[in-house]
A and B are shown apart, each in its own frame.
Chain A
C-alpha cells in the first residue's frame, strides 16, 4: 500500500468515526425529543393536581437537552468537515 493510499484510508476512517459519533448524538436527540413530546402530551390531560406543571417543566428540560445533544452532533460534523 502506498503512502497516498494509506492516507486516503485513514481519512475515510476518520470521517466514518466522526459520522458515527454524530449519528449516535442525533439518535439520542431524537429520543429526547420523543420524551419531551410525551411529557407535553401528558400535561394536556393530567391525572393528579400539579401534574401538568410538572410535565411541562420536564418537557422543557428534556427539550433543552435535545437541543444541546443536536448542537454537539453539529459540532462533531463541523470539526470533521462533514
Chain B
C-alpha cells in the first residue's frame, strides 16, 4: 500500500483541507517535504495526483479505503450495534489506531486488534507487522478491560484467525466465533 510522490502530495492536500488543526497542517507539510525530497533525488517534476486512495484488506472489516488520512469506505463497518451485540455475548473487540505525529502517510492506520472474553480476558491479537493473529495468555488481572487489560503474554506462533481460534479452549473459541459471526 504505497503512494507515488504525486499521490502523497494529493494526500497532504486533502489532510490540509480537511483538518485545520496545527498538528494536521504540520503533518501535511511533512508528507509534502518527504515527497519533494524523493522527487528531487530522483530528478522528477513535482506533480499532484487527482487521487490518493489507499485500499487494503483488514481482518473483520474487509476492504478498507483511506484517503487523506480518513477512512472513506469499509466493506464491513464495525458499528455501535456490533459493539453492543458482541459485548452482550461476553466478547470485547478493541481497535488500536496509529497515532504517531511522525507517521506521515501511516497516521490513522489500524495497527492492532485485540479480542477477549468476559470470563477469560485477552485471547487474540492481530498486528499489522505480521498481518497474523497471536494467541494471548492472560494472568487474569484484566479487570473491566476484557480485550487487552492486565498482564498477558503473546505466543510466538502466528496464525490465521481460524487457526488461532482453534488454539483456544473450546468454550472461548465458540463464544468468539459466535459473537463475531466468523465463517468456519
Contacts and interface: CB of A to CB of B under 8 A. Distances in A.
A9 B45 CA distance: 11
Interface of B: 22-23, 25-27, 29-30, 32-34, 36-37, 39-41, 43, 101-102
Dominant secondary structure of chain B at its interface with chain A: helix
Given A24-B30, A30-B23, 12 more contacts: A16-B33, A16-B36, A16-B41, A17-B37, A22-B33, A23-B29, A27-B26, A27-B29, A28-B101, A29-B26, A30-B27, A34-B23
Interface of A: 9, 12-13, 15-17, 19-20, 22-24, 26-31, 33-34
B23 A19 contact: no
Contacts of B37: 13, 16-17, 19-20
A30 B101 CA distance: 9
Contacts of B41: 13, 16
Contacts of A28: 101-102
B102 A30 contact: no
